Amino acid sequence: MNPLLAALAAEPATEELQAAFLAGVEAGEYTVAGPPVVATALAALAALSTRRGDEATTPAASPVLLVTATSRDAEDARVALATLAPSLRTAVFPSWETLPHERLSPRADTMGQRIGVLRRLAHPESRDADDVAAGSSVEADASEHPQSGPLDVVIAPIRAVLQPFAEGLGDLVPAHWALGDQLDLTEVAEQLTMAGYRRTELVEQRGDFAVRGGIIDVFPPAAAHPMRTELWGDTVEEIRAFAVADQRSIGAAGDLTFVWAPACRELILSSAVQDRAAALLSQHPELSVVLTPLSEGMAVEGMESLMPLLVGGMESLMTVLGRRSLIVVADAERCRTRAHDLQRTAQEFLRSSWFAASTGGQAPVDLGNSQYVPWDDWSDSSDAMGNTRWSVSPLGGDYAISASVPPPFARDTDAFVNQVQTWVAEGWCVLVQEPGSGPAARMVEVLSDAGIAARQVTTQEMADLEVLPRDAVVRVGTGGLRSGLLVAAQKMALLTPAEIHGTAAAALPADKMPSRRRRVIDPLALTPGDFVVHEQHGVARYLDMVTRQVQGASREYLVLEYAPSKRGGAPDRLFVPVDQLDQVTRYSGGEAPSVSKMGGTDWERTKGRARKAVREVASDLIRLYSARMAQPGHAFAADTPWQRELEDAFAYTETPDQLATIDEVKTDMERSVPMDRLVCGDVGYGKTEIAVRAAFKAVQDGKQVAVAVPTTLLAQQHLATFSERYAAFPLKVRGLSRFTSKKEAEEVLTGLADGTVDVVIGTHRLFASDVTFHDLGLVIVDEEQRFGVEHKEHLKQLRAHVDVLAMSATPIPRTLEMAVTGIREMSTIQTPPEDRQPVLTYVGPYEDAQVVAAIRREMLRDGQVFYLHNRVESIEKAARRLADLVPEARIAIAHGQLPESVLERVIIDFWERQFDVLVCTTIVESGLDIANANTLIVERADRLGLSQLHQLRGRVGRGKAPGLCL
């Protein structure tokens, strides 16, 4: 057992609680005093006791339900359980990202995950997904599939616990087939459509499927990649995973043997649902936009809002769990408050929704059955079902556990080491958790250098301990706990990065996508008559996409038309297989071209003339580059283990364009010629992470890095980002802007001159004459187009000696021309991050009801709001108006005329989620990367330019949740 669990299990209060539960005492609520992590530990202890207990004495076969206040807390609890008790089978039952009445559908992967958990609860003995990944090197292990086997702990935010859903979702049998099966594609298409899948030409997102000849592509909601099934006649001959970016297969034939496609919508379009939709349509024709497609068996956006009217009945998670279950509520007061806010906001949103407003200001049908269950009703229902509730709260309770949160050391290594030495001397069991094996190994070195016995252990080694170790050895492991814990009575201390480094561990694992996107033409973007260029045959006219039988197999082809080979003859046609699309590009010339002849010499002559023109341009470029070539730069070394460790710690999935750009930047840096590269990508596409990795590579070679940004807010944002990413490494990152005090600025300047500062992030202050570097190796310029001519002249002088990396979402034409013509190297990031949702944008007159509903909707999903009021003289009045409309919201003001220290504190507090709404001017237009802020409300948008509005809209929708812009 993990030492933390062992320490809590030895607490008298824990022993009494567990004994009472196992003895089947009277149901009801038992309050426990302790921080939220205690709730997770108690759930783990209860689940382990139930699994190890005798069947005759175990009061319930259902899993433990761990209730959290928010979805983020639920994900943190999942990671914590994986660290504390890796043998437990756990799953998160997520909540919808939308309110029950919204004309927006939840994400397909969210609904698929929910249905998967319900199936495991309804049929715990079933192992029907075990074959999904049999022998696969592409898919995850079957144990990671959400439809596989029984569960020990179900983690759910209170929002998911209180929201009813359609009956029978756990009994749904997914579409499935294996190698050698006989398959009727028409029946499969009907089954997938009924399960909420969307039929498309190309599969691009979860919940899509496509049928082309004898091939069916499907992207199940819980799968890492879509799967392609090829048939020989009616027999499944081959199953492969493939990449969305280029539609090419991943892995080798035989990697996959089974396809498991569970429903990706919670409203199953059965014949009964279609009949109810048709009947409802006759009564409410104003709902035809939704009901007409549903009556015809086609899924439509927002159809879940009408679920209570279309299904036979509704049920809740507690009903599926069954009677006499154990429910552990983490931070019960927050959960109770959250439940009350949910009910109130859902009602307000229903009354003021855009859909209701368009139909006269009120909902045309009663949707009360989909409302969140009130907290008191849920509690009474739980008691009536004989459930036991352990409500953990830091405010106190009937059962007291001697657990507390460790003191923060705020990166003070000496204070941390001294405290650990004191604990060890007093006989404490001390555990240290780091986010990865590399930081854990360095922590062992730090402790050993201080004379403290320490060794690195695995998560499983920690879980296998039977008693608390008292051997005066500090155990350093890896895990994802967001905070540590002290159990004073048991002399046990667990410390995490939150206390040691001031940064919490990432809750999400980093799923890597090592493939690079090929630049192929998108056949769906072509219309008949478009001009294209084939690499071998020249300019052609696109006609159609067709399916043809070749040697008994169906394949898709692009049909291209060329000029007739003989005068007066019919045009020649070329059939290009879709797996050879990399040879075809769209024609991008300014005028309509002449179509080439197949097999002739016209195309070769054209290519020859192009090569000659390129050689002439190249000779000019050689002269331009000769000055730079004469100034040898520093050739950086290949990646170090620390570089790979930094990149592995990235808590998100890199896009293929990001990976390609990172490779190009590293290649430039490893050359002896100074780099001069422009990275062009839209807001939120991951340019900062490229800068983080490039700067780290430079520091690994003993060089200093200067990061220049146009605004103080962006400087502060980058300083926080770089500091967080480098927290586990011995790098010194400092800022230099008007936010920096005089004393701090002097320290930074001294550190730059003597080499003790590795990375400096600042505004135009970096170009002052008093700024000197000990050994500058890389300059990174963010939003280069926003610097003045004087600063750019300074950069031009630097380019002859050091590597320069410029980044921009909207480069000015001159910069873009230099990149396109080859004077500067350019990388483009065109692919948005995986799971990025489009920002929903509404334009209309100002109404208080809609503003209130939008703010409260965002607060319900634990998010934040930008409220843009672009007049400084009246911004405080606007903030007071919002405070009257939404009194529970924490509101702050930010504009450029605030004193530097005040503005800095406001932005940092907003970034740290101390405020819910930031009333601001366009000072937030660029640079602010606050993934938790997903709603933007703009007053008098007509007074802003399109470029400004585009940049402002880029402030939201940067996480997985869809952004909203009003």
Q: Output the six-digit token pair for 62.
A: 């259902």
Mean pLDDT across 162-182: 89
Q: What is the overall mean pLDDT for the chain?
A: 80
Beta-carbon contacts of residue 303 (< 8 Å; ≥ 6 apart): 105, 265, 267, 290, 293, 294
Q: How far apart, in whole angstroms, are the C-alpha atoms of residue 369 and residue 908?
A: 42
Residue 834 has pLDDT above 50, yes or no: yes
**Which of the pair, 820 or 922, is modelled with greater confidence?**
922
- The pair of three-digit structure tokens given for residue 371, joined into one six-digit string: 């409302």
Tell me the three state secondary structure of residue 750: helix
Is 641-829 assigned to CATH 3.40.50.1100?
Answer: no
Residues of CATH 3.40.50.11140 domain(s) within the chain? 412-500
**In this predicted model, which residue has the larger pLDDT, 449 or 810?**
449
Q: Residue 636's closest CA among 762, 805, 887?
A: 805
pLDDT recorded at residue 14:
85
| Cα 691 to Cα 639: distance, rounded to the nearest angstrom | 15
| The pLDDT of residue 621 is above 70 | no
Average pLDDT over every residue of 315-335: 88
Q: What is the pLDDT of residues 843-901, one digit of tens each?
A: 878 888 888 888 888 888 788 899 999 888 899 999 999 999 989 889 999 887 888 77
The Cα 946–Cα 506 span in angstroms is 36
Architecture of domain 412-500: 3-Layer(aba) Sandwich (3.40)
Which stretch of DSSP H or E encloses residue 632?
Answer: none
More confident residue, 794 or 72: 72
Angstrom distance (rounded) from CA 104 to CA 123: 30
CATH fold group of domain 840-965: Rossmann fold (3.40.50)
Report whether pLDDT(140) > 70. no
Q: In what order do the strands lie in the sheet with 28-33?
A: 90-92, 153-157, 64-68, 326-330, 388-393, 28-33, 399-400
* Nearest partner of 193 among 304, 306, 298, 104, judged by Cα: 298
Q: Which of 310-314, 593-597, 796-800 has the lowest mean pLDDT?
A: 796-800
Tens digit of pLDDT for each residue in 716-749?
888 888 988 888 888 899 998 877 778 888 999 9
Return d(Cα 892, Cα 897) in angstroms, integer.
Answer: 14
Question: Of 911, 874, 872, 878, whose CA–CA distance to 895 is shortest?
Answer: 872
How sure is the predictor about 64, in pLDDT bands with cuts at 50, 70 and 90?
very high
User: Is residue 52 pLDDT above 70, yes or no?
Assistant: no
pLDDT beyond 50 at 60: no
Q: What are the C-alpha distances in Å from 801 to residues 57, 103, 778?
A: 76, 57, 10
Residues 218-241 have a mean pLDDT of: 89
pLDDT value for 610: 80
One-letter amino acid of 562: Y
Dump pLDDT digits (tens) for 282-303.
888 878 888 888 888 888 888 8
How many angstroms separate the CA atoms of 962 and 238, rounded?
A: 36
Closest listed residue to residue 331, CA positions, set 17, 39, 9, 4: 39
Q: Which pLDDT does position 614 carry in this prediction?
A: 67
Instruction: Indicate where the chain has its CATH 3.40.50.11180 domain(s).
Output: 1-133+141-173+295-404
The helix (run of H) or strand (run of E) holding residue 888 is none
CATH 3.40.50.11180 assigned to domain 1-133+141-173+295-404? The reply is yes
pLDDT beyond 70 at 517: no
Where in the chain is CATH 3.40.50.300? 641-829, 840-965
Kindly report the pTM of this predicted structure.
0.66
**Each residue of 10-32: pLDDT tens digit?**
888 888 888 887 777 677 888 88
Nearest to 918 by CA among 863, 962, 959, 957: 863
